[in-house]
Amino acid sequence: MSPRTSSLVLGHASQLLVGATALLGLAAGLAGCPIYSADSCSQDPSCAQTTPPDYDSGVPDTDAATSCDPGCADGYTCNSVGTGAYQCVAYDCRATELGCASGKACTDNGKGAFYCASTVSDCRATGCVSGYACKDPGTGAYLCSSTDPNACVADADCATKTGAGSLCLGGICKAPKDLCSDSTQCKDGTSCVDGRCTTKCATSCAAGYTCDSTTSLCTAGGGQTSCATGQTLVNGRCVKTAATDGSCSTGTVSVSGGCVVDDRPTFFCDQSGTADGAQDKCSLGSICLHHNCYVSCDPAVATSCATVDKFNVCKAVTTSSGAHNVCGSSTNLGSQCDPTATPPKTCTGALLCIDGFCK
């Protein structure tokens, strides 16, 4: 065994002896203190991985059979497994005496080992998903930030970018003409609420959002100042932390390092906002209203919408281009309110504008 390897092994052994003595003393002083069933993954029957191979950091491993040279991966410690033999063994930082130092959080590596991972994000190594660039916002943490010039975190960021009445939707400022006015501009399972495509809480709401029992819609929380591990504070609410490359699960988008609900509308026609009331990209016999295509109808003919799927009611609708008769339903294309109108047609009191109706 080389001198370098011998000193490494002795160093590991000394550290283990000191660590074991310290843990015994702590255990004696904290008798009865509740901790996890085992301090090490190798002793915990619920831990799936017990003896991973030595970690190869690029330094030649001169004696893999009898040492942890050149060291162990995050989440593992070098333990003696026999006379003169050492192996990387997972440990569990959930135990009180194995807690993480400042700047690190106890994290599941997905294989049964809980290790101390850095809480400082750094996308310089991973890169960013399309539409995002790796930047330091001044906090020392390199985050994937949107490259859209109208990127935002809160509604207050938008007045100077896209005008008064604009909203921050999915991390992008949208002018009043580009807000939703009806659920037909939103994804399935969502309703248009005051210009936002808001998720219905049929099952549960995303992190940072709660179910409003009155409307059965997921509303954004607020007023929070600190978050649990795995969550990031964005605009006063704790949301799931975005991956280092800026990716988020379906239905959410990365904003300031966290995954917020993507509440942007989806437009099918009139992308420029200048062709309302025209056929535009719609099929023959349909017109574009509120950026969506609707079949024109004749209110004098009772059956003019009978074959138009769920939109089988001939309704009079007034938009920026004037009055129109199109096929709709009893729950959409309401005329009581419209956040896209000039000036906006709002509801009174505490009522919300939901799909054109004040509720």
pLDDT, tens only, 227-263: 888 889 999 999 999 998 999 998 899 999 999 999 9
Rounded Cα distance, 355 and 138, in Å: 40
| Least confident stretch, 99-108, 119-128, 150-159 | 99-108
The residue with tokens 């929070």 is: 224
Q: How confident is the model at residue 137 (pLDDT cuts 50, 70, 90)?
A: confident
Is 50 exceeded by the pLDDT of residue 55?
no
Task: At 24, give phi and psi (nearest 5°).
Answer: -65, -40
CA distance 170 to 158: 12
DSSP single-letter state for residue 124: T
**CA distance readout (Å), 104 to 79, 107, 118, 154, 231:** 22, 9, 4, 28, 14
Q: Which two tokens stand for residue 18?
A: 């000191």
pLDDT-derived band of residue 343, with 50, 70 and 90 as boundaries? confident
Rounded to whole angstroms, how far apart are CA atoms 324 and 14? Answer: 84
Contact assessment for residue 70 and residue 59, using Cβ atoms and an 8 Å cutoff: yes
Q: What is the mean pLDDT of the chain?
A: 77
pLDDT for 271: 82
Confidence (pLDDT) at 34: 32
Range 86-112 average pLDDT: 67
pLDDT, residue 262, reads: 94
H helices of 76-202, in order, are: 159-162
pLDDT surpassing 70 at residue 16: no
pLDDT, position 224: 81
The H or E element spanning position 23 is helix 3-29
Q: Are 232 and 258 in contact (CB under 8 A)?
A: yes
Q: Is the pLDDT of residue 198 over 60?
A: yes
CA dihedral 33, 34, 37, 43 (to 10 degrees): -30
Question: 294-327, pLDDT tens digit by residue?
Answer: 999 999 998 999 988 889 999 998 888 889 999 9
Residue 111 pLDDT level (bands cut at 50, 70, 90):
low
Delimit the domains of the chain by residue range: 3-118, 132-179+196-261, 286-358
Q: What is the pTM (predicted TM-score) of this model?
A: 0.64
